[in-house]
Structure formats: C-alpha cells, structure tokens
Amino acid sequence: MSAWRVSDVCTYIRDRMTMLGRVAALLVLAGALAGCQADELGYGPKHKRPVDSTIKRKMTELGMRSTSPIMIRIFKQESELEVWKQARGGRYKLLETFEICKWSGELGPKFKEGDRQAPEGFYEIMPSLMNPKSSYHLAFNLGYPNRFDRAHGRTGSHLMVHGACSSRGCYAMTDKQVQDIYALARDSFKGGQRSFQVQAFPFRMTPENMAKNRESEHMDFWRMLKVGYDHFELTKVPPKISVCEKKYVFDATPLVDGVPFRATAKCPDYKVPDRTAMLVAQKQSTDEEKFQTIVARIEAREERKERWEERQKAIAGLLGSDAPAAAEATVEAGSAAADGAATAVAVAPKQRPEGDVATAYAPAQKSDSGTPGGFMKRWLPFGSKTTEETATVGSIEGAAAPAPKP
C-alpha cells in the first residue's frame, strides 16, 4: 500500500506540473498577442486604451471623475472640437480642445446623401453608435439625420467623428486625438451616462461672427442654433433638446404631462425654467444690439470703400495713360490702407480705426509745384490728417487739371 501511495503522489505531481506548464504557455501567448496590438499610440486593443496622462491630470485639477458625463462642441470655421466634462457641483467645464484635422463641405447644414457636407445641429451619441472596429482607427456615428433633419427631408448616413485625418462629410481627427476622445466617451458610459450630446456649429456664435456671415442663406437656421448655444453658455449644462414645428426647442417641458414633442406637429404649450429663460432673453437682446452696431459699421465701411474706388477711377481718368508710376503706387497704398481699416473694424468692432484713414473726402493740399506729383498731392485721398469735417468737401468733377502756380 505504501508503494502505491508513493506512485500515486508522483503521478499527481506530474499531472499538476503539466497543467501549470500549459497555463504558463497560455500566459506567454496572451502577452505575445497583446504585444502584437501595440503601436506608437499604446498597446492592447485600441478601443480599451486609457486616456492620455496629460488629460488625466487636467481632470484631477478640475475636480472631475474619470467616469463623469461629457459633452462635445464642434466649430467648423475655427476647426476646433471641444470636450466638456461634468465637474463637482454638476456644471460642465472645458477639459480639452482638439484641432480638427479635416472637415468637408462649407459652412451650413447637410442636406442630402453624397453632398460631402459635414452636419450642423444637436446630436445624441449612444453606446450603440460607438465603433471600436472602424477602418479610421476609432469612430462614433453622429446619428445623422436626427429628428430635426428628418423633419426637413434631409438624407445621409455614416456621418462620423473618426481618425485617419480624412473626411468625406465627416469630422476627421488624428488617430491620437480620436483615441483620447473615444476613451473619454467610453469612460462616461461606464459611469452611467446613457448618451452624450454633440453640438455642431458653423462657428462660435458671437455677434461678430453672425454679422460677418449675415448675408448667408443659412442665417435663420444659425439663429436657431444660437439659442441652444446660449443655453449652454449661460448654464454650463447641456440643454435638453426637443423638436416641434420643424424647429429645435431647448430645455422645454410640456405644461401637460404626457404630451410629447413631435418634430412635424404643432408645439405643445411648454415652459422653460424661469431663470434660464430670463438669462437667455437678456443675452439674445444684448447680442442683437451688438450685431446691429457691427453691421452698421461694416456697411458704412463698405460704402466708404465703394466711394473711394469710384474716386480713384475718376482720378485715373484725369491723369491719363502718361501718369507717373508714383500715382499707381499711391493708389495701391490707399487700397491697402482701406483694407487695413476694414480688418480693424471686423476684429475690434467696438473701436473706430485710429490714425489716417483713406477716404474720398481728404482735404486739398497746396502744392508748390506744377508737376504731376504736386497735382496728385492735391487730388489723391491720402496724406495729412483726415478728419470728420472733410466729409463736407464735394465730389471731384471731371474738369481739366488746374494751371500750375507761378
């Protein structure tokens, strides 16, 4: 019996060693497979990689949990994608701004399949729209067309935020950027967020940008988007999005329980929180005043420029083909001055251009010479200080040049 027991023990040990060897081999194989998935952006499956350590530090500094909810804003004109994240207290703070690598189309919404236009509007991204197996590194679908888009008969599919820096109607990021954006979204879902909001705008909805693009056919649509933009700017909480009468409404609650918002039906009676409604109304009013002031300045500048150009044509006709090269150089300098003044108005609309401003109402200057140069100094709209009083000077008639002084 004792011999049999020793034999049984030996057999048991041998079997255990064989099993441990197999486990060790499996562990080595798993490590090898993980190594095969490593690249310059990290190791392991790309959709499971952690967010960059720099962003982690920012979350700590801003008082954010790694799994707290997120929201994304996109600005076409500025080519920027912002990730906002909920901090302590419930309000959202800007966590990171990514430069969009490429987006296709022009400023304005997407209308139909194949127009290669990146969408604008408000979209909700659920876990089912995340694509860990994207051919463009990683991606998530914007969910276009949403209820608003469908109400207007707009078509399209597979509109994404993805990597690979290549766009055909999408918002394309670099692989490194989309990996961090994907990780932030993934972690927010782990924390219980059911969907995160993407707000896609043509530009930052400021009075200056609205005035600059005032002649666009999309202005009514953009004014509607601006209301949602203002809701978030003031509350720092993603607004609740509803659609009725083919338009967006924000933070609205029906007065009658159970009455839904239907995209193409009449809006039910609804209420927006009093404080939010008051703040938004105040901001809209203030921004509209700024908008009108900026538009008036831009139109005045354009009118002055038009008169200035007409004056140059008249002067060119008087000087004829034998005018010296100095005249052409002076005209070019005046044009550059006008363009500089235009830029100053667009960038800083609250300030009038300083210094000498090219204008068609420059005062006539005395000349001690009868040369063409002296003639130009008298009639060309440049030179010494130009004041508002010069606006009373009449237009130049197409008469012959005055005789030179003795």
Catalogue the active-site residues: 162, 170
378: how many CB neighbours lie within 10 A of its CB?
Answer: 16
Q: Which of 111, 327, 344, 80 is nearest to 208 (CA)?
A: 344
Distance separating alpha carbons of residues 292 and 281, to the nearest angstrom: 17
- Both tokens assigned to 261: 């918002």
Using the structure block, give the residue that is written with the tokens 């194949």: 114
